[in-house]
Amino acid sequence: MTAAQYDLIVVGLGAMGAAALYQASRRGARALGIDRYQPPHIMGSSHGDTRITREAVGEGEVYMPFVKRSNAIWRELEMASGRELFHRSGGLIIGGQHAAAFHYQGDFVAASARIAEKHGIDYEILKSDTLRQRFPLLQPRDSDRAYYEPGAGVLRPERCIEAQLEQAQAQGARIHTGEKVISFAASADGVTVTSERGRYRAGKLILAAGAWISEFLPAAQRGGIRVNRQVIHWFEAEDRRQFLPERFPFVIWIGDTQEDFWSVFPAPPAGMPGVKLVTEQYHTSTQPDAVSRQVTEAEKADMFQRLTVPRLRGLREKCLHAEVCLYTLTRDEHFVIDFHPASQRVVVASPCSGHGFKHSAAVGETLAQLALDGGCAFDISAFTLARFDA
């Protein structure tokens, strides 16, 4: 058996893998990161100019240490990289009487307020008339109410990934891009990773392959994970300045049915032209290499006519750009952060169920701890792979 070339290999350099490589190299580990594309790229889950981050994470109390620690890391990275990674815009979560129908723990507006209250985070609950006064572009129904968090905002995902990969390299990490990993084998004394181009030996391995993670998992766990195609649209604004982060918050709008979920994002300086709009779909799953990357005219019309016109003023029905993005979902829509069933030398983190970016800096740190120390600072007992065992 040849000696290990690296302390650690990270497969996949999207949000989670870039953060893990950065954190491991920061600790002095000899680290190699490998990605099949050229990160940041538009084939996975971490593109699209902006990602929402909130301090009160209504998806569950378990995420609070991750978001707090991530916010601290983003600030450090801004200093180290000279890049602006976060824009404070404030954030609204609007829900009607039937919002309890589907989003995470039920009533997402109430869940966010409960967590904000407990953690001393500034927030307000706004009724529809106050919403209309404070945010005149929005058109809530009388029955809608909103959770408003003034300290929330948007991250710039491509910049976050670039900054972490640059810092990792500056700290000695090696990065191979355009190189697909085919398989790995773990033994008592190390891990061998086989790619299209070569074989590498390391003490530990982190698998952060996003929508492709099932390729590295045993059949028993694959069933717990599915990939859903989502679409990001950018529509032309009558006046884009009205949507700058200092004037316009992100809005998560939870409608009365699962198909009625809609978000609009503030338009940051030096960002994509137009205003970003997204919805979510949970009914049709796909495979990451087979997914259609084309966005149809019908999808664009649906986004504008059905979801946007009733809720928002200030946009024209002209879609400037659209991209497909992948949600890697678990059955309970929570994360996976765990050792691989085959070996404690291998750590798995990927299915971040459509809400992972805001936590990714701290997830990366946790992955580095798991790989290099065998344990981690935060409670990850909710994120096991074993919960999918048949």
Ligand X SMILES: Cc1cc2nc3c(=O)[nH]c(=O)nc-3n(C[C@H](O)[C@H](O)[C@H](O)COP(=O)(O)OP(=O)(O)OC[C@H]3O[C@@H](n4cnc5c(N)ncnc54)[C@H](O)[C@@H]3O)c2cc1C
Q: Which residues bind ligand X (CB under 6 A)?
A: 11-17, 34-37, 39, 43-46, 48, 51-52, 180-181, 208-212, 230, 232, 278, 325-327, 350, 352, 354-358
Least distance to ligand X from the beta carbon of 300, Å? 15
Give whichever of 230 and 285 is closer to ligand X, judged by the CB atom.
230
Nearest residue to ligand X by CB is 14
Peptide bond into 40 cis (omega under 30): yes
State residue 4 phi and psi, 5-degree precision: -65, 130
Give whichever of 12 and 95 is closer to ligand X, judged by the CB atom.
12
Gap between the Cα atoms of 17 and 33, Å rounded: 8
Give whichever of 17 and 90 is closer to ligand X, judged by the CB atom.
17
Per-residue 3-state assignment (H helix, E strand, C coil) for 95-163: ECCCHHHCCCCCCHHHHHHHHHHHHCCCCEEEEHHHHHHHCCCECCCCCCEEEEECCCEEECHHHHHHH
Give whichever of 128 and 338 is closer to ligand X, judged by the CB atom.
338
Give whichever of 128 and 347 is closer to ligand X, judged by the CB atom.
347
Least distance to ligand X from the beta carbon of 293, Å? 13
CB 232 within 8 A of CB 75: no
Least distance to ligand X from the beta carbon of 196, Å? 9
CB 35 within 8 A of CB 29: no
Least distance to ligand X from the beta carbon of 124, Å? 21
Least distance to ligand X from the beta carbon of 51, Å? 4
Q: How many separate helices (H) and strands (E) can be counted in the chain? A: 8, 19
Distances in Å between the alpha carbon of 64 and those of 76, 333, 358?
19, 16, 11
Least distance to ligand X from the beta carbon of 315, Å? 18
CB 218 within 8 A of CB 207: no
Give whichever of 133 and 284 is closer to ligand X, judged by the CB atom.
284
C-alpha triplet 335, 161, 80: angle, nearest 5°: 120
